[in-house]
Amino acid sequence: MAGSPWIKVADVRGAARLAVDATLGVTDLVEAVHHGIARTTLGSTPTETRRAGGVAGFVYRGVRGVTRLVGGGLGLAGAALESMLGSSPESSPARDAVLAALNGVIGDHLDATGNPLALPMQWRVDGRALAPDATAIATAFGTPRRRLFVFVHGLCLDDRSWLRGGHDRGQALARDLDGSAVHLRYNTGRAIGRNGAELAASLEALVDAWPVALDDVCIVAHSMGGLVVRSALHHALARGLRWPALIRDVVSLGTPHHGAPLERGGHAIDRLLEAHPLVAPFARIGRLRSRGIADLRHGRVLEDDADAAAHVPLPPDVAFHAIAASIGGADGTLVDAVVGDGLVPVDSALGVHGDPSRDLRIPEERRHLVRGVGHIDLLGDAGVYARLAAILG
Instruction: Output the 3-class SS for 297-343.
Output: CCCCCCCCCCCCCCCCCCCCCCEEEEEEEECCCCCCHHHHHHCCCCC
> Is the pLDDT assigned to residue 183 strictly greater than 70?
yes
The pLDDT of 109-130, averaged and rounded, is: 90
Distance CA 262, CA 257 (A): 14
Res 55: pLDDT:
41
In this structure, which amino acid lies at residue 262?
L
Res 284: pLDDT:
46
> Is the pLDDT assigned to residue 20 strictly greater than 80?
no
Q: Are 281 and 36 in contact (CB under 8 A)?
A: yes
Q: Which of 280, 274, 121, 277 has its CA nearest to residue 189?
A: 121
Q: Are 71 and 22 in contact (CB under 8 A)?
A: no
Res 331: pLDDT:
65
**Helix or strand holding residue 220 (H, E):** strand 216-222
Distance CA 157, CA 259 (A): 19
Q: Does the CA dihedral 150-202-295-16 come out positive or negative?
A: positive
DSSP-assigned states of every residue in 127-147: TEEE-S-HHHHHHHHSS--SE
Res 262: pLDDT:
58
At 117, is the pLDDT very low, low, confident or very high (cuts 50, 70, 90)?
confident
At 45, is the pLDDT very low, low, confident or very high (cuts 50, 70, 90)?
very low
DSSP-assigned states of every residue in 169-196: HHHHHHHHTT-EEEEEE--TTS-HHHHH
What digits encode the pLDDT tens for the residues 301-322? Answer: 998 755 556 789 999 999 999 9
Q: Look up the pTM and report it.
A: 0.77
Packing angle between helix 169-176 and helix 382-392, nearest 10 degrees? 40
Res 30: pLDDT:
41
- Window from 70-79, 120-129, 147-156, 202-211 with minimum mean pLDDT: 70-79
What digits encode the pLDDT tens for the residues 50-66? Answer: 454 444 444 434 434 44
Phi, psi of 309 (to 5 degrees): 70, 115
Distance CA 295, CA 282 (A): 22
Distance CA 91, CA 378 (A): 26
Res 253: pLDDT:
98
What digits encode the pLDDT tens for the residues 188-207? Answer: 999 999 999 999 999 999 99
